[in-house]
Amino acid sequence: EVQLVESGGGLVKPGGSLRLSCAAPGLTFSNAWMSWIRQAPGKGLEWVGRIKKKSDGGTTDYAAPVKGRFTISRDVSTNTVYVQMNSLKTEDTGIYYCTTGVGYMDVWGKGTTVTVSS
Amino acid sequence: EIVLTQSPATLSLSPGERATLSCRASQSISSNLAWYQQKPGQAPRLLIYDASNRVTGIPARFSGSGSGTDFTLTISSLEPEDFAVYYCQQRSNDRVFTFGPGTKVDIK
């Protein structure tokens, strides 16, 4: 069974940057669509963005609130997916989940917590 | 952007009762809809995809229906472990995905 493990969360000041990582032993990321989903405290799920598998073009798309600030990338040598988050705002606070699946999120990590606060 | 609305926001039922959850899309999404279950402190779990297909291992009491703009998740007879929050999610175009706001099913 595929397992996803997120890391890199923490406390950051507004305007700062953070990079989250997602590792999956046994899953070849180049063959998978990977998405990041977040959940603000006490709120619902919000799709953040996605990177397609290489054979589907490897392209990325983002939700409007993060477009231009967040960048999803993949390192095939380490089998890791990243989300680089810049110009962070307090409303970016929440749990960030790494998921895999073509359009639907069929495997989820346990999440990593990001807190944006002064 | 396709907007999903879910109703009701909260559904208070007793074990053994039938739960009917609704998800409506702002425009037609064909059958490109999934349902997820989330329990407190846990990551969500995919239950249903393509509107009506149950994921392997999901109990038969969970069923999905609908197409176009109106979708339903039905839990035929609630078990104690079914009390949770349920989200719908669309993948109509493969560029931007969205979730509904969720329906909480709690114990009456």
Under an 8 A CB cutoff, do A103 and B95 touch? no
What's the pLDDT score for residue A30? Answer: 74
Is A64 near chain B, with CB under 8 Å?
A: yes
pLDDT, one tens digit per residue, over A85-105 is 999 999 999 999 999 988 899
pLDDT in tens, B35-89: 999 999 999 999 999 999 999 999 999 999 999 999 999 999 999 999 999 999 9
Backbone angles phi and psi of A31, in degrees to 5: -100, 10
pLDDT at A79: 85
Asked if A35 lies within 8 A of B95 by C-beta distance, the reply is no
What is the three-class DSSP state of B64?
strand
Check CB contact under 8 Å for A108 and B43.
yes
- Whether B33 has a pLDDT exceeding 90, the answer reads yes
Token pair in block for residue B75: 């839990």
Per-residue pLDDT at A66 = 98
**CA-CA distance, B10 to A67, in Å (whole number)?**
32
Q: Tell me what pLDDT residue B79 has.
A: 97
Residue A92's pLDDT is: 98
A28 band by pLDDT with thresholds 50, 70 and 90? confident
**Contact yes or no for B32 and A64 at CB 8 A:** no
The better pLDDT of the pair A18, A57 is held by A18
Q: Do A97 and B102 touch (CB under 8 A)?
A: no
B43 Cα to chain A: minimum distance (Å): 6
Q: Tell me which chain B residues have a C-beta less than 8 angstroms from the C-beta of A50.
A: 97
Q: What is the pLDDT of residue B17?
A: 97
Q: Characterize B68-103 residue by residue with b for buried, 16 or more Cβ atoms within 10 angstroms of its Cβ, and e for exposed.
A: ebebbbebeebeeebbbbbbbbbbbeeebbbbbbbb
Q: What DSSP state is assigned to residue B55?
A: P
**Shortest alpha-carbon distance between residue B101 and chain A (Å):** 6
Q: How far is A30 from chain B (nearest CA, A)?
A: 17
